[in-house]
Structure 1
Amino acid sequence: MGCDGGTIPKRHELVKGPKKVEKVDKNAELAAKWRYCALSQEKLKRPIVACELGRLFNKDAIIEYLLDKSAERPNTEVVAHIRSLKDVKELNLTDNPAWEGERHNIKGDRYEDMHCAMFICPVVGLEMNGKHQFLYLQTCGCVFSERALREVKTEICHKCGDPFQEDNLVMLNGSKDEVEKLQKAMEEHRLKAKTAKKSKKSRDTKVSKSLESTGSCDTSETQSTSLNGEGSSGSCGDSAPGPSTSGECSKVLKAPAGPIAGSKRSIQEMKDKSETYKSLFTSHSSAKRTKDQTSNWVTHTPYHF
């Protein structure tokens, strides 16, 4: 059974030892995180968005996922926390002037630097290739290196000038511990927003109910005073004594005198109106036709009397 012809086998050929653990190339791992979309595994291209956990995505890939979540896609667990476009922020990135593109070394006769990135920090100039930690602001979407924010301490964005707080900073492609911290902060933020929304909704319903009740009370009081006239003033004062109710009743009683709502009093009978004002209406004598001006037939017109 083999080993004939004077062959001398070695120990590693006869005894199976432990398997070697395959190590991931660091350059390939960094390129996968910082150059490719975490959902579609395609190369990152503008517009680029980031979630609350610091993962980078192409915006069109997120839109396709939100439009059809039932489709079978790989890596859907990385976007399970994204419910709408409000959960992601479009990044305001700074281009790297040394970036020549993907096709500068088609022939393969030039040295290709794997650490050269498409974007850089606008303050320090560090390349966004994974060797340095980068953060983005949830308020404006500007991206900076951690070194820039540590050396130049300020509460105003270095690029657009918008104010921000430490809670608005999110680490891009952080470690497992940093992702866990971001996930806890995200859950707390969503819980606070949910409770605030419920309290605002209940407050609005209470205000609307109180307005409806006061409005119905005011309309009923005004209708009773307008129908009853002077006789209702005594009943109002007797039934609800106090400064507030007496003031309301006095306001209703001191209303300017005029035709009662629903009455058929003619404008021509109003003594406080001038003759010129009365002549503007068709009920005036000057607008009526005489018997000589009337025709033998009837015309459907509002000016016929």
Structure 2
Amino acid sequence: MGCDGGTIPKRHELVKGPKKVEKVDKDAELVAQWNYCTLSQEILRRPIVACELGRLYNKDAVIEFLLDKSAEKALGKAASHIKSIKNVTELRLSDNPAWEGDRGNTKGDKHDDLQRARFICPVVGLEMNGRHRFCFLRCCGCVFSERALKEIKAEVCHTCGAAFQEDDVIVLNGTKEDVEVLKTRMEERRLRAKLEKKTKKPKAAESISKSDVVEEAPGPSKVKAEKPEETSLDSREKKTNSAPRSAATNESSSGKAKKPPCGAMKRSIAESEESEAYKSLFTTHSSAKRSKEESAHWVTHTSYCF
């Protein structure tokens, strides 16, 4: 029997079986991982950064994600482990001289070879297209293939010469097992950093308190505290000894005797054999000691006004 119109249905059209699992094209997956940003799904352009799990991002997309404090963030799950810009590392990539980009297909009549990569390994020369495993160092950000790391074993970066450890090596776009290992390392590293901060805080507080105590009660040194009187006596003796020496040297150098002070001048004039009229000009004369009644109001013997 047939249906309306004389059509004869087949078994697969009437009986519904289990759906076939859709397989992801490997080539398309590799192109999406190595040529597009994981966060914004835009083409990767410099500066390119990588997180601690080995995923590639555009730096401006990461900054916008961190600045966006809204409740609904687009594609937030892909970068939920990025809390600050310090959690990503800017990559130092080596350009592929054989890559032309979009310049060769300006008219649209040429096939784009998606397997041709923009960047290569600077040590071995392998293209970074997903066919080969690549890694980068957290300490310097240099990118090279895993083959170069295994063939040329060294504790120093092959490109810049910076020292690194095994914990600094992060695989780019690794498998699920690689991501799990990197995740455990990331959690341990962050816990270690928190503990170091907690230990540094009490030490800083102790140092500040010690400095405050020293400033509030500054004490003299031991040498000065033992014999303060002796040092003062020595200094006084030095001053007294230096005074006559300096006077003697000045007299010898000049060759002339200095004028006596004012007191010596008064005594010498009073005791001299000058006339009484000359002596009466000074206050030491007996006439200056007369009372007001004895002296006339219009006569002044001295400079003082009575």
Instruction: Provide the TM-score with structure 1 as the length reference.
Output: 0.71
CA change 1:138–1:246 in 2 (3 A) is closer
User: Matches of 1:117 and 1:77 in 2, distance apart?
Assistant: 27
User: Matches of 2:102 and 2:192 in 1, distance apart?
Assistant: 44
Deviation at 1:198, TM superposition (A): 1.4
Q: Deviations over 1:130-180 (max 9, x none)?
A: 111110011110001001101111111111111211111111111112111
Partner amino acid for 1:249? A
CA change 1:20–1:252 in 2 (3 A) is farther
Instruction: List runs of 5+ in structure 1 lacking aligned partners.
Output: 223-244, 258-270, 276-305
User: Matches of 1:203 and 1:106 in 2, distance apart?
Assistant: 64
2:115 matched residue in structure 1: 115
1:122-271 aligned at under 5 Å gives the runs 122-218=122-218, 221=219, 247=223, 249-250=225-226
1:64 matched residue in structure 2: 64
CA change 1:97–1:13 in 2 (3 A) is same
User: Matches of 1:103 and 1:20 in 2, distance apart?
Assistant: 40
User: Matches of 1:105 and 1:124 in 2, distance apart?
Assistant: 29
User: Matches of 1:48 and 1:164 in 2, distance apart?
Assistant: 21
2:275 matched residue in structure 1: none
User: Matches of 1:41 and 1:138 in 2, distance apart?
Assistant: 24
What is the SS of the residue equivalent to 1:124? coil
Larger deviation, residues 125-134 vs 245-254: 245-254
CA change 1:211–1:102 in 2 (3 A) is same
Larger radius of gyration: 2
What is the SS of the residue equivalent to 1:104? helix
CA change 1:4–1:82 in 2 (3 A) is closer
User: Matches of 1:95 and 1:254 in 2, distance apart?
Assistant: 79
2:23 matched residue in structure 1: 23
What is the SS of the residue equivalent to 2:217? helix
1:47 matched residue in structure 2: 47
User: Matches of 1:76 and 1:57 in 2, distance apart?
Assistant: 13
CA change 1:216–1:24 in 2 (3 A) is same
User: Matches of 1:89 and 1:213 in 2, distance apart?
Assistant: 44
User: Matches of 2:197 and 2:45 in 1, distance apart?
Assistant: 36
Identity of aligned residues (%): 59
User: Matches of 1:134 and 1:254 in 2, distance apart?
Assistant: 78
CA change 1:26–1:253 in 2 (3 A) is farther
User: Matches of 1:13 and 1:33 in 2, distance apart?
Assistant: 38
**CA root-mean-square deviation:** 2.8
| Conservation of the 8 A alpha-carbon contact between 2:137 and 2:168 | yes
Instruction: List runs of 5+ in structure 2 lacking aligned partners.
Output: 234-242, 248-306
| Conservation of the 8 A alpha-carbon contact between 2:93 and 2:119 | yes
What is the SS of the residue equivalent to 2:101? coil
Deviation at 1:183, TM superposition (A): 1.2
Deviation at 1:210, TM superposition (A): 2.0
User: Matches of 1:25 and 1:100 in 2, distance apart?
Assistant: 25
Instruction: Provide the TM-score with structure 2 as the length reference.
Output: 0.71
CA change 1:10–1:173 in 2 (3 A) is same
Partner amino acid for 2:134? F
CA change 1:200–1:106 in 2 (3 A) is same
User: Matches of 1:123 and 1:17 in 2, distance apart?
Assistant: 53
2:297 matched residue in structure 1: none
| Conservation of the 8 A alpha-carbon contact between 2:48 and 2:57 | yes
2:289 matched residue in structure 1: none
